[in-house]
Structure 1
Amino acid sequence: MNAPPPSLRLNANTVVSATCVVALLYFGREVLEPLALALILSLVLAPLVRSMTRAGLARMPAVLLSVALVATLVVGIGAVLAGQLVTITRDLPQYRAAIKTKVAKVREVVERPITRIEAELSAVAPAGAVEPVKPRRGNLAASNQPVPVEVRTPRTMKDTLGRAIALVWGPIGKAGVVLILLVFILLEQGSLRDRLVRLAGQAEVSRTIRTLGDAAQGVSRFFFSQFIVNATFGAVIGLSLGLIGVPHAVLWGVLSGVLRFVPYLGVLLAGAIIAVFVAAIDPGWTLAATCMAVFLAFELVLASFIEPKVYGHSSGLSPLAVIVSALFWGALWGPVGLLLSTPLTLCLVVAGRHVRALAPVTILLGDAPNMSDAERFHQRVLAGEADELTKDARAYVRRYSFARYCDHVLLPGLRMAVSDLGAGTIDKAQELRMRAVIANIAETVASASESGARARRKPVPLLDANIGAHLRQMREARSGRWQGSLDVPPGSVVLCAGLPSERDEFLTELLVRALREADVDARSIVAGVPQERPEGGAPGLVSTVFITYPRQDNFEQWVGAVTELRAGLPEALLVTVLLPYDEQLPKRALVEAYVDMILRSFEEGLAFVAPDRAHQA
């Protein structure tokens, strides 16, 4: 079983620490922004650098060549965008008539309902309710005052050039700092790893290495794949718009590829900008509708089919976490934070899988909570979510087997619930609901896979506090008193036995259903009590007897039951199953003296009596 996740308790130290971190991120943005950009770009370029080094290129030339490619790409995209913006500014007068016509049509469509509502309200308003607007004295006085005149000195070429350089120098300077940091991070990658390992301490070496390995391989591979996918999307959109006849298609393609790095909102914004531009320049609406259809078709194909094959079904973040991270980093760092929101949050989620202090981040923002199937079963069975549990169980059994479901989900989850029951944290209503849900799962999920029992079943009412006895009675009601025909070949029956206790009868009934799912003729009895024997039922029909593993408090009773089974079925193999999550058990050496074999799970029992079906499962 997995270790319990860290509790999310808020105390004064946690709140103060979180506040200090947020303040540091906000006020230190001038230093942290270029550093974060360089780190993310280093993860993007890491696969390319590794490929060049494997091809025989030295580390420094590979890094410089990779950074040169990035710089060339950025400069090229900037030049294309600048040229396209200049062109679109120059061509705006040509589109002025179409823009005015479209604006008038849109205004008419928007204002018409408002005008109608205003007219209806005016018709029902009482007379004299609307008073004429009287001119204010202040306005008359203000109209008689002289208007101030401002004398401005005409700008010279030097002033205009200075303003242009000041406007451009900020982004260019930041880009230069990012490229310098990127070069040194890539060159000193090994040294940085050694320093981080040294900083974490010798006791955390393995955990630090795993964290850095996930960041260097998994995260960098995702970022690089995302870059390739978005660049391809931008190229396809630009080419498609150009073929349709949209002006400045290169600009819209680049804009679509860049904005797609912004989660969810970027694609919507790019599509809206393209739609508004095309609707403004075209007299009709056909071209705008065509462009939107092409844009949405490519986005759906990319998001539904291509992205899952390239880098998995998810980025590692839940959809809500993507939106929340975009709002958080956008509020802290503006547009740069919006672009880096997903990469930065994904790095924190990956680190939280190995660093305990960041584990709450992984739990809250990860694509799936760090919870085993047994823990999820435990929570849902306490909540009484029978439909969800049955649905999950059916899906699990279709993929594996009912025996595996018992070993990995049902019994470990039930053990957690029993621990809560012993601790007194479960009330009577929850206990009754839990029993009903477990009985319903065991009846509907296991029985649905048996031949002749595939019809939809009604929920099982819990008539008895002993779930195992209740399930056996229901099975006997369907299959007969002896749970099947006695006219069967010798050695074809597997008998499952347990002492007359709630634990043993429940485990026995689960094992019977797990074996019957694999077409094994499994039947159950209660050992250690007088029972009527079937007429015509020879002992040679039974090949194997599964008896539940004893507890410390009923070991003597269990020995008597085993002795009785030995005497009644001398040719059958006697097998018991030692479950790893059971407690208060006698030593294995004591039990081995009374049985032929000790197995460790229901799956091993299935493999013992039906190896072919177990191998298929």
Structure 2
Amino acid sequence: MLAVAVVVTALYFGRDLLIPLALATLLAFVLAPLTDRIRRLGVPRAVTVTVVVAITLGALIGLSMFMAGQVRVLGKELPTYQSNIAAKFDRFRAQLRTPGVFSEASRVIDAVESEIEQTQGELEQKPATGSRRPARVELVPTAPGAFEAVGRWLERIGPPAALFGTTLIYLFLVLLNPGDLRDRLVSLLGGSVHRTTDALNDAGQRVSRYLTMQLVVNLCYAVPMAAGLWLIGIPGALLWGLLSAVLRFIPYVGSLVGAAFPLMLAFAVDPGWTMVAWALALIVVLELISNNIVEPWLYGSSTGLSAMSLIVAATFWTALWGPIGLVLSTPLTVCMLVIGRHLPQLAFLDVMLGSRPALEPPSRMYQRLLAGNSADAIELAEESVAESSPRQFYEDVGIPVLRMATVDHRLQEASAEHRHRIVSGMTAVIDELRMRHAAERPQAPLEALCIGSRWTVDTLGAGMAAHALALDGVAAAAAPTAAGAVTAELIASLGSEGAKVFVLSYFSPQPQEHAQYFSRRLKRRWPDSKVILALWNVEGAELAALPIADWGVDAAVGSINAMVTEVCARLEREGTVGWSPAQYGADDAQRVQALRDSGVLDASLRGTFDSAARRAADIFDVPVAMITLIDEQWQYTHGDSAKAGRLGVGEPERGPQRSASMCGHVVAGGAALVVPDVQRDPRFAANPVLIENAIRFYAGAPLRDAEGHILGTLCLLDTQPRTMSLRDAKLLESLADEVMEPLRNRSRTSTGG
């Protein structure tokens, strides 16, 4: 708290120095792209900065002079509208005095006013007893001299001029040597140079994008505003359009002030109310279009700030720096957010200011359930289902919530009341989803029975599994209670004469003995049945290493998607392969012909492609990166990070069939594909090629030729699940473009393009 108080105090008392620096930095974000573009033409930096600053200064001065001229013209015309204003106020006063709702109140007010005036007149006419009438003294101000007039004028114009001049000097210095300022910020922030560099780049991109898009949005508002006011007949339409564009840079207040001026002028110009009504309608329509269509379309990704943080930031910076602080509030807060997102020691800023949820979806759901707020939990579940599906909700949120509950139970962090809330709340969530997303075959003969093996949370997991199976077309049901001790009475009570597959749900970290005994009893009772263990707390290599054959079970899975795939495979459903084959595009024949004509299959390119794959593997820190090419039937590897530097030339190596290739999905989809965990993705969980090679992570970017045909991919592979940010995905696409750029240039040259 002491550090926060010191920082706030420094911001307040150092505002005369910091405000020009902040304004200059803000303008530098906008002008830096133009400066860099001119620099690429070979112009010296000093000349470039001088020209850019001069153009900016000239534009600001020209705009100010134009607006001042328009205001001067309007000022001369305003006296002609005085009669309209007086007439409207007279009519308004007359309306208040007419008999009606306010007639009695008006009569009382008039009576009180007359009494006050009468008493005041008597007091002025009657002098006090025994006293003389005071002499009237009139102070006549002396006319100020020339130096005094100049001094007063400098007092008014001096502070803004000093602010403007200081900002201009800072702007010139920042643009002249941006690298030095960046180096000092990196040194000041300390820590990892990588994180600090990413933070500065992210802040610059966000602020530049925000200011550029804000300018475009304001112009999209100002142009129709000026045109509409001109058609309505309001004087100075161009002035009000420009003023609205400038004022809308001020959050919240600017749009209101910009709308007030033309409305007041319409009130003064028109003897009636028609012009005011048309102007108000124009402003309302433009605000609706701008806020609901133009801004979402142009902004795309937001600044990353929450609505609450924007309001709090506007209040905070206005209190510190006045109106200029309000203008700077959003860019400054964006910089604070980015710093908090990239620097661990300031991560609290990301939590406080960011628009991203502070908790991950499972943690949010778990917190609502712990609080006993089932209604909020159901709402969160519906939001997640709306973005994906009930099955994916169970996979990404439902099972992880129950996993968290079992961990807290083992650590004895949850009370009996907490456990009761979790069970009752999650039961309500599952029942609600089952009701809103009913299966298409509710009356079909039972095919799969999901059983909670020991605990109540096992039963909840079985309920999720049964609903996911039913939504996939399997006639599935869940046993109403946990099995607990496996007895003959329990086996007889299952009522599963028609079930072909049993799914045993376990959250226990060590289910071996119970699972082995339970599966043997089921097999003894129904010899032709299949038993699948759903071990929700076991994943990855640990799951694959379990001796399930010794337990007498047919398979063990650790996720909802893998469970659905395994059950469908055990039921031997027609057309069910457990994974999604890669599809073919409508123009695939032309694409394959372009692949063969491009020369990309040339053996001499193998060394180049191996090096490119090695570079991608190093950049993304993955064990394997490949350049693959897809023809009508097969995937070919023509670049392998593991072979970089060892194989100069070579023919492409044929790999899996196209239908089983993840790169085939990139070709069919026409865009980059990122799969954080193959085993949790129903499209690939049971893909035999991925299982054989133990692939858990995949990311692929398309390789496009000059005509836009996708010839193959630059892909990354890992045997462990991992995530990839949007920025990294775009970087992968950029590397893929770099791989193809020489071939595209060669193609353009050969065709004379």
TM-score range, shorter chain: 0.7 to 0.9
- Paired with 1:416 and 1:140, the residues of 2 have a C-alpha distance of 93
Q: State the match for 1:24 in structure 2.
A: 10
Q: Sequence identity, in percent?
A: 30
Pair 1:283–1:303, CA change in 2 (3 A): same
Mapped pair 1:450 → 2:438: yes
Per the alignment, in what secondary structure is the counterpart of residue 381 of structure 2? Answer: helix
CA–CA distance in 2 between the matches of 1:365 and 1:59?
Answer: 37
Corresponding letter in the other structure for 1:551 = S
Instruction: Say if 2:24 is the partner of 1:38.
Output: yes
Asked if 1 retains the 8 angstrom alpha-carbon contact of 2:452 and 2:504, the reply is yes
Equivalent residue, structure 1, for 2:66: 80
* 5+ long unaligned stretches in structure 2: 569-575, 581-681, 686-753
Q: Separation in 2 of the partners of 1:420 and 1:550?
A: 12
- Pick closer, same or farther for the CA change 1:40–1:81 going to 2, 3 Å: same
Aligned length, in residue pairs: 560
Q: CA deviation at 1:49?
A: 4.1
Deviation for aligned residue 1:286: 0.8
| Paired AA for residue 238 in structure 1 | A
Determine whether 1:600 maps to 2:554.
no
Partner SS state of residue 93, structure 1: helix
Inter-partner Cα distance in structure 1 for 2:324 and 2:116: 53
Give the corresponding residue for 2:358. 370
Q: CA RMSD in A?
A: 3.9
Distance 1:57 1:208, change over 3 A: same
Quote the offset at 1:295 in angstroms: 1.5
Contact 2:543 2:557 survives alignment (8 Å) = no
CA contact (8 A) 1:412 1:581 kept: no
User: Is the CA contact (8 Å cut-off) linking 1:64 and 1:183 kept in structure 2?
Assistant: yes
Larger mean Cα displacement after TM superposition, 428-437 or 258-267: 428-437
Deviates more, 1:421-430 or 1:294-303: 421-430
Matching residue within 184, 188, 211 for 1:223 = 211
Larger deviation, residues 366-375 vs 41-50: 41-50
Pairing 1:38-77 to 2, within 5 Å after superposition: 38-52=24-38, 63-77=49-63
Q: Give CA-to-partner distance per residue, 1:80-134, whole Å, 9 cap, x none.
A: 12112222222222222223223434455567777732535899x9xx9999556
Name the residue aligned to 1:173.
Answer: 162
How far apart, CA to CA, are the structure 2 residues paired with 1:517 and 1:590?
Answer: 31
1:4-60 per-residue CA deviation (whole Å, 9 max, x = no partner) reads xxxxxxxxxx1x322222221111110010011112222233444455556776655
- Tell me the alpha carbon deviations over residues 517-548 of structure 1, each in whole angstroms, 9 at most, x when there is no partner: 1112334565943223999957xx73x55433
Equivalent-residue separation in structure 1 for 2:75 and 2:294 (angstroms): 36
- Give the whole-Å Cα distance in 1 for the aligned partners of 2:262 and 2:193: 51
Map 1:557-596; keep pairs closer than 5 Å.
Answer: 557-565=514-522, 574-579=531-536, 588-591=545-548, 594=551, 595=553
CA contact under 8 A between 1:330 and 1:337: conserved in structure 2? yes
2:96–2:106 contact (8 Å) kept in structure 1: no
Residues 223 and 176 (structure 1 numbering): CA distance in 2 closer, same or farther, change over 3 Å?
A: same
Code of the aligned partner of 1:407:
E
Distance in structure 1 (CA, Å) of the matches to 2:426 and 2:16 = 58
Q: CA deviation at 1:506?
A: 2.6
Aligned mates of 1:422, 1:81 — CA distance in 2 = 72
Provide closer, same or farther for how the CA distance between residues 371 and 55 of structure 1 changes in structure 2, counting only shifts above 3 A.
Answer: farther
What is the aligned counterpart of 2:87 among 87, 94, 101?
Answer: 101
Given that 2:504 and 2:533 are in contact with CA atoms closer than 8 Å, whether structure 1 keeps it comes out as yes
Could you list the per-position Cα deviations for residues 389-444 of structure 1 after superposition, in whole angstroms to 9, with x for gaps in the alignment?
Answer: 22332332243222321222123234445555667776655544443221121122
Partners in 1 of 2:95 and 2:170 — Cα distance?
A: 53
Contact 2:451/2:462 (8 A) holds in 1: yes
2:307 match? 319
The residue matched to 2:533 in structure 1 has which SS? strand
- Structure 2 counterpart of 1:188, one-letter code: N
For residues 578 and 172 of structure 1, the distance between their equivalents in structure 2, rounded to whole angstroms, comes to 72
Q: 1:507 corresponds to which letter in structure 2?
A: G
CA contact (8 A) 2:507 2:536 kept: no
Do the aligned residues in 1 keep the contact of 2:28 with 2:175 (CA within 8 Å)? yes
Contact 1:393 1:441 in 2 (8 A): yes
Q: Is the 8 A contact 1:317 1:365 kept in 2?
A: yes
2:105 is equivalent to residue 147 of structure 1:
no
In structure 1, distance between residues paired with 2:92 and 2:47: 57
How many Å apart are 1:160 and its aligned residue? 5.0
* Mapping of residues 128-167 of structure 1, within 5 Å: 132=119, 135=123, 144-150=134-140, 152-153=142-143, 155-156=145-146, 163-164=152-153, 167=156
- Establish whether residue 182 from structure 1 lines up as the match of residue 168 from structure 2: no
Partner deviation per Cα, 1:272-298 (whole Å, 9 max, x = no partner) = 222112201221111111111111211
Q: Verify the 8 A CA contact 1:197 1:205 in the aligned structure 2.
A: yes
Residue in 1 aligned with 2:622? none
> How many angstroms apart in 2 are the aligned matches of 1:75 and 1:442?
65
* Distance in 2 (alpha carbons) for counterparts of 1:597 and 1:42: 62
Conserved 8 A contact 1:546-1:574: yes
Gap change, CA 1:557 and 1:307, over 3 Å in 2: same
8 Å contact from structure 1 (residues 496, 523) kept in 2 = yes
Evaluate the alpha carbon distance shift between residue 422 and residue 272 of structure 1 in structure 2; reply closer, same or farther with a 3 A threshold.
farther
Which residue number in structure 2 is paired with residue 556 of structure 1?
513
The one of 324, 329, 351 equivalent to 1:341 is 329
Q: CA deviation at 1:79?
A: 1.0
Q: CA deviation at 1:164?
A: 4.4
CA distance in 2, matches of 1:105, 1:425: 73
C-alpha separation in 1, matches of 2:105 and 2:128: 34
Q: Does 1:400 align with 2:388?
A: yes
Give the equivalent residue in structure 2 for 1:509. Answer: 463
1:198 aligns with 2:187: yes
- Which whole-Å CA distance do the structure 2 matches of 1:371 and 1:347 have between them? 22
Change (3 A) 1:116 1:522: same
Report the CA distance between 1:365 and its aligned residue.
3.5
**Matching residue of 1:532:** 492
In structure 2, the CA distance between the partners of 1:198 and 1:161, relative to structure 1 (3 Å rule), is closer
| Structural mapping, 1:442-521, within 5 Å | 442-451=430-439, 484-485=444-445, 493-521=447-475
Amino acid corresponding to residue 196 of structure 1 in structure 2: L
| Residues 52, 550 of structure 1: alpha-carbon distance in 2 compared, 3 angstrom cutoff | same
1:250 to 215, 218, 238: 238
Which whole-Å CA distance do the structure 1 matches of 2:168 and 2:219 have between them? Answer: 20
| Secondary structure of residue in 2 paired with 1:246 | coil
Give the distance between the partners of 1:403 and 1:300, measured in 2 at CA.
Answer: 38
Match of 1:464 in 2: none
Displacement of 1:572: 6.0
Q: What amino acid is aligned across from residue 193 of structure 1 in structure 2?
A: R
Partner of 2:282: 294
Distance change >3 Å, CA 283–CA 193, structure 1 → 2 = same
CA distance in 1, matches of 2:143, 2:229: 46
Counterpart residue identity of residue 171, structure 1:
P
Cα distance in 2 for partners of 1:336, 1:140 equals: 60
| 1-structure distance, mates of 2:347, 2:515 | 46
Residue 304 (str. 1) matches residue 292 (str. 2): yes
Kindly report which structure 2 residues correspond to 1:388-427, keeping only aligned pairs within 5 A, or say none. 388-418=376-406
How far is the alpha carbon of 1:386 from its aligned partner?
A: 2.7
Amino acid at match of 2:368: R
In 1: Cα distance, 2:128 partner to 2:471 partner: 92
**CA distance, structure 2, for counterparts of residue 232 and residue 99 of structure 1:** 32
- The answer to whether the 8 A contact 2:531-2:554 is kept is yes
Deviations 1:119-165 (Å, cap 9, x if unpaired)? 35899x9xx99995562868997953241443513654x76566545
The residue type paired with residue 496 of structure 1 is C
